[in-house]
Every structure is written in C-alpha cells, then in structure tokens.
Amino acid sequence: MIQGLQSGDEQAFKYLVEHYKDRIYNTALGVVQNAEDAEDVAQEVFIQVYRSIHSFKGESKLSTWLYRIATTRALDLLRSRKSKKRFGFIQRLMGDGNEPLHEIPDFNHPGVALEKKENAAKLFKAIGKLPDQQKTAFTLHKMEGLSYQEVSEVMETTVPAVESLMHRAKQNLRKILEKEEG
C-alpha cells in the first residue's frame, strides 16, 4: 500500500482514508474535543499524508506516522486557540474589543454509550484541562487503545516517559473530577 501511495495510486489513497478515517477522527476528537475541529484536523492529516507520503521512510508503522500527524495537528490547533484566547483577554483588559472567550462546547464522543454520556462529558471536560502531553498520551492509550510502546512511538518519547505521563494524567483527572464533585 505504501508503494502505491508513494507512486500516486488513487485506489491506495482511498483505501488509506477509508481504513484510518475513523481512528484519526476519534484521536483528534479526544484532543480538540470539538466535532467540527476534529473533522478539520482529520482532513488536514490526509492532505498532509497525500503531500508528504514520499518522505515516509517506513521506520515506524504507517499507523504510528498517521497518529503522530493527527496529534501534532490537533495540538497545534489547541495552541493557536489558546494564543487567540490570551490575545482576546488582553484586548478586553485594554478596552479593545468585547467578544467573548471561546469555550469548548459540550460534545459526545462516538464511542460512548448513551447512558454514560453525562459522565463521559465530565471526563472529556476534565481531559481538556490536562497539559497537552498528558492529554495526548491519555487519548492515544485509553481512547484509541494504543499500547504504551505505540504511544511512545507516536509521541517520539520513551515508554517510561509515557508511563509517567499516564500516571500524572490519572492523578490530575482524579483531582479535577473530585474538585468538580465537591
């Protein structure tokens, strides 16, 4: 398939999109927590893959490369939003402009059963408060089912670093959820 993609085979690209679109979307959704943004990120991932497949060297699995692109794109989107938020807040402090801060809207992840949506919404809101690295590790491992080894490859770090990120993410989630309950 990789050779087909690199030679511009349209069928190989269609297969890639069909095979990975839901996983890439769900990964992006876990990070950005907004369905439209997740769709945009997923589209950008496949555009980037189409444009840069010739640079894929096969040193990691294709899925690892795709997840890496998806998490990078999703985190870039969050960072740009945070920077816009900070700029908007500063503008309001200075008296320039009066548009409200953008809050992450409620959403429902497709993998969540109907009766669990309320708890899932609380969890996703808490996940949204995690530092980027913890959010990425948690999303890839718990929501996408990647092993620590696979997460370490996607995040380009070590397995012990992923274990540490997961431990801190769980601790932080516990604190955030307890704070909201109390």
Phi and psi, residue 9, nearest 5°? -70, 115
Q: What's the confidence (pLDDT) of residue 157?
A: 94
Q: What's the confidence (pLDDT) of residue 120?
A: 72
Q: What's the confidence (pLDDT) of residue 95?
A: 44
Higher pLDDT, 105 or 101: 105
Q: What's the confidence (pLDDT) of residue 94?
A: 43
Q: What's the confidence (pLDDT) of residue 12?
A: 92
The 3-class SS string of the chain reads: CHHHHHCCCHHHHHHHHHHHHHHHHHHHHHHHCCHHHHHHHHHHHHHHHHHHHHHCCCCCCHHHHHHHHHHHHHHHHHHHHHHHHHHHHHHHHHCCCCCCCCCCCCCCCCCCCHHHHHHHHHHHHHHHCCCHHHHHHHHHHHHCCCCHHHHHHHHCCCHHHHHHHHHHHHHHHHHHHHHHHC
Q: What's the confidence (pLDDT) of residue 124?
A: 81
Q: Under CATH, which number does the domain 2-181 receive?
A: 1.10.1740.10
Instruction: Quickly count: other Cβ atoms within 10 Å of residue 139's Cβ.
Output: 28
- Amino acid making up residue 26: N
Helix 35-52, helix 10-32: angle, nearest 10: 140
Higher pLDDT, 80 or 155: 155
Q: What's the confidence (pLDDT) of residue 109?
A: 57
Residue 90 pLDDT grade (very low, low, confident, very high; cuts 50, 70, 90): very low
User: With 70 as the cut, is the pLDDT of residue 69 above it?
Assistant: yes
Mean pLDDT to the nearest integer, 160-181: 92
Q: How far apart are CA 78 and CA 170, in angstroms?
A: 21
Q: How far apart are CA 180 and CA 165, in angstroms?
A: 22
The widest CA-to-CA distance across the chain, in whole angstroms, is: 58
What is the per-residue pLDDT across 4-61, written as a single tens digit (0 to 9) for each? 888 888 999 999 999 999 999 999 999 998 999 999 999 999 999 999 998 888 888 9
User: With 50 as the cut, is the pLDDT of residue 92 above it?
Assistant: no
pTM score, whole prediction: 0.64
What is the per-residue pLDDT across 103-145, written as a single tens digit (0 to 9) for each? 344 455 555 555 566 777 788 888 889 999 999 999 899 888 8
Cα 6–Cα 10–Cα 12 angle in degrees, nearest 5 = 65
Residue 89 pLDDT grade (very low, low, confident, very high; cuts 50, 70, 90): very low
